[in-house]
Chain A
């Protein structure tokens, strides 16, 4: 599904290398987690994959089902099936959550040559999915993320994911700022989306989220590279011992 090969990325504006030969492959249907100390480049990886400005790829490749992501505009990547759940979802006053969601869903359908959803069809689907995530009809009507609590914003991200039905989901510290109940809701939302044709790349600082969203593979990232990969037990090891030994071992 997602294949990243020897990816080198620097900041566009300054001479600072952030990713230094990162390689990673997430097969269809799998959940991979990335853990790593602050400043290891985890968020940069998620932004570069989804097409945010400000980064320059100096070497390497990233493909989704064999198609190069790096040549696409952000909206093209979305239509190709990539989704990034933001660590800090953006507030957009004056634009209704529903209007935004319906525009996004239909723009993607159009880009893929599929029929657009009528407002009736859309409403029916969004109401059902919102209910599962305990998102109230009022939240759907409000402007995008405006006045939402931290937990509501993250649930709104998962609602967008559920509506857009991406094949490759990247989650950038979705657990940050969530209380236990919200984490369970978000995790249940994600688990409901798991399937043989959908993959996840879950970026997190804490093992706790991985109790709820069981990963197939855990990668440890440091200084712009994957330094070690293993099973879920790797996350437990980080939780107990910190990164010190793992990083020393990798060197």
Chain B
């Protein structure tokens, strides 16, 4: 790919006719059902207070300059017709896993597997929240609250206050099977607020998979607490359909010697924003966040925003951010990635790369890499490139008889390869790669 300067918007987007923030928030809250909560009651009340203090984001918010929040601020989403194939995504379908099905954001016990699995404790939020005591009380809303500093994240607070359901997973050893959350849609106007809490206890390991279509609009939060030596492999494959509005926050606290690997595949969707807020709190810990995004502006607008904040607060820790976006037909990609190295976080190894492959001149990529370093013995690097298809490689492939469209598929897969490399399990990686290849082949001629 040819290197190119990071492009930035020179104008702050204007929002015409937006209601005043306070009124907008009242209207937004009025359209939601706010559960009173059992063990989460206090966290929900606090979150609501936080949200009232923060207000909804506007174009003046530094981290909302490149993504228009209006559709997330609106009281209700636009209904979206159900697609023909709303059924279970076949991704990971052949795999031995514990399947948890959510329909319009609500747990569907009949469609799910039995929750019993050795080495793991699973409840649903709606179910557990009828009780006053739960192990997740230590975490629900806590990591979110911590993640509000120094950058405020109003939709995460709104989520904590309003979440209707989700899973609470506590892993005490390494379960034989991955846990797989499958989202399905049943109504055209579901405004889904889901919230998962995961604790991986000392030395335990979990593979957590998420697939499916969530709703007309979705707001998701994962709070994950990795105890010393714990390992969490998180893979999300968003099959967004073509008119999807979604935002999510991943809050992870990584203790000493623990490992986080999170990978997100996102294909289409009108307006998507994923925030990852990672707090590396213990020495010798590792956190990798990666994403492969494909957007086609021809199937409605496409705007995809990845916003990452990684805090190094301990010694000898490693973080990697690998974000790749393939954009065409006027699609827009945004990447805002920050590495904060606190005083004393010596021997930090921080790496960040964000790259866009623009398949035409109408698409654009906006990248804002940030490093803030307060320790003197660290290694941090970041890079961002925006490029087109490599003509030399394209000619090489075609000269061997590979047709143009197929050659483009190869080169797009080649571009995304670094992000997929972040999936540790080879079978899972191969499955994602095959899915991508099939999607690209289908769209190659368009």
- Pick out which of these stretches binds chain A: B88-96, B103-111, B387-395: B387-395
With A73-B398, A100-B397 as contacts: A90 and B392 at CB distance below 8 Å: yes
Count how many pairs of residues, one from A and one from B, have CB atoms less than 8 Å apart in the complex. 78
CA distance A104 to B411 in the complex (A): 14
CB distance from B440 to the nearest CB of A (A): 12
Is A107 touching B403 in the complex (CB atoms < 8 A)?
A: yes
Q: Which residue of B lies closest to A91 (CB)?
A: B393
A160 near B: Cβ within 8 Å? yes
Looking at chain B's contact residues, is the secondary structure mostly helix, strand, loop, or mixed?
helix
Is B414 touching A78 in the complex (CB atoms < 8 A)?
A: no
**Interchain residue pairs A-B with the least CB separation, the first 3:** A94-B417, A78-B401, A74-B398
Report A95-131 CB contacts with B as 1/0, cut-off 8 Å: 1000010011101100100000000000000000000
Contacts of A164 in B (CB 8 A): 400-401
With A52-B395, A53-B395, A90-B392 as contacts: A104 and B414 at CB distance below 8 Å: no
Contacts of B410 in A (CB 8 A): 92, 95, 100, 103
Is B396 touching A89 in the complex (CB atoms < 8 A)?
A: yes
Is B395 touching A107 in the complex (CB atoms < 8 A)?
A: no
* B 377-435 contacts with A by CB, 8 A: 391-393, 395-404, 406-407, 410-411, 413-418, 420
CB distance from B124 to the nearest CB of A (A): 39
A-B pairs with beta carbons under 8 Å apart, 16 shown: A51-B395, A51-B398, A75-B398, A75-B404, A75-B407, A78-B398, A78-B401, A86-B399, A92-B411, A92-B414, A94-B418, A95-B417, A103-B406, A103-B410, A107-B406, A111-B401
Q: Which residue of B lies closest to A54 (CB)?
A: B391
With A75-B402, A79-B401 as contacts: A94 and B414 at CB distance below 8 Å: yes
Is B406 touching A74 in the complex (CB atoms < 8 A)?
A: no
Is A74 touching B399 in the complex (CB atoms < 8 A)?
A: yes
Interface size classification for chain A: 20 to 34
Contacts of B411 in A (CB 8 A): 92
Residue from B392, B400, B403, B418 in contact with A160 in the complex, judged by beta carbons closer than 8 Å: B400
Contacts of A108 in B (CB 8 A): 401
Report A207-237 CB contacts with B as 1/0, cut-off 8 Å: 0000000000000000000000000000000
Q: Which residue of B lies closest to A145 (CB)?
A: B396
CB distance from B274 to the nearest CB of A (A): 23
CA distance A93 to B415 in the complex (A): 8
Is A92 touching B396 in the complex (CB atoms < 8 A)?
A: yes
Q: Which residue of B lies closest to A160 (CB)?
A: B400
Is B399 touching A95 in the complex (CB atoms < 8 A)?
A: no
Is B399 touching A51 in the complex (CB atoms < 8 A)?
A: yes
Q: Which residue of A lies closest to B411 (CB)?
A: A92
Is B401 touching A93 in the complex (CB atoms < 8 A)?
A: no
Is B415 touching A94 in the complex (CB atoms < 8 A)?
A: yes
CA distance A221 to B404 in the complex (A): 33
A44 near B: Cβ within 8 Å? no
Is B401 touching A73 in the complex (CB atoms < 8 A)?
A: no
With A53-B391, A103-B406, A107-B406 as contacts: A92 and B401 at CB distance below 8 Å: no
A50 near B: Cβ within 8 Å? yes
Residue from B401, B413, B418 in contact with A107 in the complex, judged by beta carbons closer than 8 Å: B401
CA distance A73 to B420 in the complex (A): 32
CB distance from B66 to the nearest CB of A (A): 28
Contacts of B417 in A (CB 8 A): 93-95, 143
* A 15-58 contacts with B by CB, 8 A: 50-53
Contacts of A90 in B (CB 8 A): 392-393, 396
Most A C-beta atoms less than 10 A away, residue of B391, B399, B407, B418: B399
CA distance A30 to B395 in the complex (A): 27
With A53-B391, A73-B404, A75-B404 as contacts: A84 and B399 at CB distance below 8 Å: yes
Is B413 touching A94 in the complex (CB atoms < 8 A)?
A: yes
Residue from A52, A84, A103 in contact with B402 in the complex, judged by beta carbons closer than 8 Å: A103
Most A C-beta atoms less than 10 A away, residue of B401, B402, B410: B401
